[in-house]
């Protein structure tokens, strides 16, 4: 004899909002009551669909999955789409292993006749303003009601943890870049150029990311540039030495002038190269 499993729930009007879902019989804690069914959407598809009802623009049948998809209970959904939100819920969503399906599970023993409720904890990408909270206002009436169905803001501790995680990620990325740069074969002169303060990490990164042939080509070009510069610097020094012999000024003033001159020469050289 095949026994049909009796449903745990029934759909009927709720005092909270529209339709609601109620326990048809006592439901033990941990019971998987029903799956939140519906069409799978990408966030872009969900945004394009929203709002469904212009009279109630913030009404939602969406349930976001951790695999990035959104279940639209409004398309191909089942009775789960009528479950209302509460800040003091008796149910919660449990995902399967790959985060592709979600089930509504009893968080505690639920007596026959009780309304089934879970915390929507809506996630909104925009800044959470008072207006937005009002758009998603909660009427659950629980003592600990947040006043909104939007997810609570992370605590200071959670924010600090998130910031620390982000910093760790950035540090790991930098480490990986440094490691990559160390592994990249470079000729002695190119190494020397990289060690100079004006060589930015971006330049190093670009070279390491180029195919081997192009990187070598770039290195030999920079070698020629370096040679030219070295020769010019030597020439300049010689000229300045000769000039300083004839001058009777304070060392510091002299130094400033030299720096000034060097700076101007540098600018000229840059301009010249551009014109070529």
Site for ligand SAM contains 140 (CB under 6 A) = yes
Q: Rule CB under 6 A: choose which of 9, 33, 60, 71 binds ligand SAM.
A: 60
Q: Does 18 bind ligand SAM (CB under 6 A)?
A: yes
Q: Give how many residues touch ligand SAM by CB under 6 A.
A: 17
Closest to ligand SAM by CB, 139 vs 163, is 139
Residue 45 interaction partner, one of ligand SAM, Zn ion, none, beta carbon < 5-8 Å per kind: none
Phi, psi of 99 (to 5 degrees): 70, 25
Residue keyed to tokens 């033990």: 28
Asked if 218 and 186 touch (Cβ cutoff 8 Å), the reply is no
Q: What angle do CA 275, 265, 240 make, to 5 degrees?
A: 145
Using rule CB under 6 A, residue 17 touches ligand SAM: yes
Q: Tell me which of ligand SAM, Zn ion, none is bound by residue 190, counting a contact when its beta carbon lies within the kind-specific cut-off of 5 to 8 angstroms.
A: none
145 binds, among Zn ion, ligand SAM, none (CB under 5 to 8 A by kind): Zn ion
The residue sitting closest to ligand SAM, measured at its beta carbon, is: 18
- Residues 232 and 228: their CA atoms lie apart, in Å, by 6
The number of C-alpha atoms within 13 Å of 147 and in the hemisphere containing its C-beta is 7
Which stretches of the chain are DSSP H helices? 43-49, 130-135, 156-183, 188-195, 201-209, 212-246, 251-275
In this chain, which of 84, 184, 219, 222 binds ligand SAM, going by CB under 6 A? 84
Q: List the one residue from 23, 138, 150, 207 that touches ligand SAM (CB under 6 A).
A: 138
Nearest to 29 by CA among 126, 94, 100, 95: 94
Q: Find the binder of ligand SAM among 61, 102, 115, 193 (CB under 6 A).
A: 61
Task: Determine the Cα–Cα distance for residues 97 and 232; give it in Å rounded to an integer.
Answer: 67
Is residue 184 involved in binding ligand SAM (CB under 6 A)?
Answer: no
Q: What is the dihedral of CA 161, 162, 167, 168, to 10 degrees?
A: 70
Query: Distance from CA of residue 141 to its chain's centroid?
Result: 34
Q: Verify binding: residue 103, ligand SAM, rule CB under 6 A.
A: no
- Which of ligand SAM, Zn ion, none interacts with 222 (beta carbon under 5 to 8 A by kind)? none
- Residue 35's φ and ψ, nearest 5 degrees, are -85, 145
Among 9, 81, 184, 186, the residue binding ligand SAM under the rule CB under 6 A is 81
CB of 167 to ligand SAM, least distance (A): 37
Q: How far is the CB of 87 from ligand SAM (least distance, A)?
A: 8
Task: Provide, rounded to whole angstroms, the least separation between the CB of residue 154 and ligand SAM.
Answer: 22
Among 15-23, 34-42, 177-185, 259-267, the segment contacting ligand SAM (CB under 6 A): 15-23
Q: Considering only 90-98, 132-140, 250-258, 266-274, which stretch makes contact with ligand SAM by CB under 6 A?
A: 132-140
DSSP H helical segments within 101-155, as ranges? 130-135
**CB-based burial, 20-39: b 16+ in 10 Å, e otherwise:** bbbbeeebeeebebbebbbb
Binding residues (CB under 6 A) for ligand SAM: these are 14, 16-20, 59-61, 81-82, 84-86, 138-140
């Amino acid at each position: 004899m095949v026994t049909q499993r009796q449903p745990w729930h029934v759909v009927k009007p709720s005092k909270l909002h529209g339709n609601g879902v109620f326990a048809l019989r006592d439901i033990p804690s941990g019971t998987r009551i029903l799956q939140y069914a519906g069409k799978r959407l990408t966030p872009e598809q969900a945004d394009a669909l929203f709002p469904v009802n212009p009279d109630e623009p913030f009404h939602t049948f969406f349930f976001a999955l951790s695999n990035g998809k959104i279940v639209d209970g409004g398309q191909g959904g089942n009775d789960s789409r009528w479950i209302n939100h509460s800040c003091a819920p008796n149910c919660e969503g449990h995902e399967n292993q790959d985060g592709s399906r979600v089930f509504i599970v009893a968080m505690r023993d639920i007596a026959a006749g009780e309304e089934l409720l879970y915390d929507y904890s809506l996630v909104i990408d925009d800044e959470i303003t008072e207006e937005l909270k009002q758009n998603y206002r909660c009427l659950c009436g629980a003592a600990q009601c947040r006043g909104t169905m939007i997810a609570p803001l992370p605590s200071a501790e959670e924010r600090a943890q998130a910031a620390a995680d982000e910093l760790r990620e950035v540090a790991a990325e930098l480490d990986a870049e440094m490691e990559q740069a160390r592994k990249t074969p470079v000729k002695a002169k190119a190494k020397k150029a990289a060690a100079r303060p004006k060589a930015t990490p971006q330049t190093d990164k670009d070279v390491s990311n180029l195919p081997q042939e192009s990187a070598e080509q770039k290195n030999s070009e920079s070698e020629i540039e370096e040679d030219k510069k070295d020769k010019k610097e030597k020439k300049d020094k010689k000229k300045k030495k000769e000039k300083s012999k004839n001058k009777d000024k304070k060392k510091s003033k002299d130094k400033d002038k030299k720096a000034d001159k060097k700076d101007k020469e540098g600018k000229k050289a840059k301009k010249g190269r551009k014109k070529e």
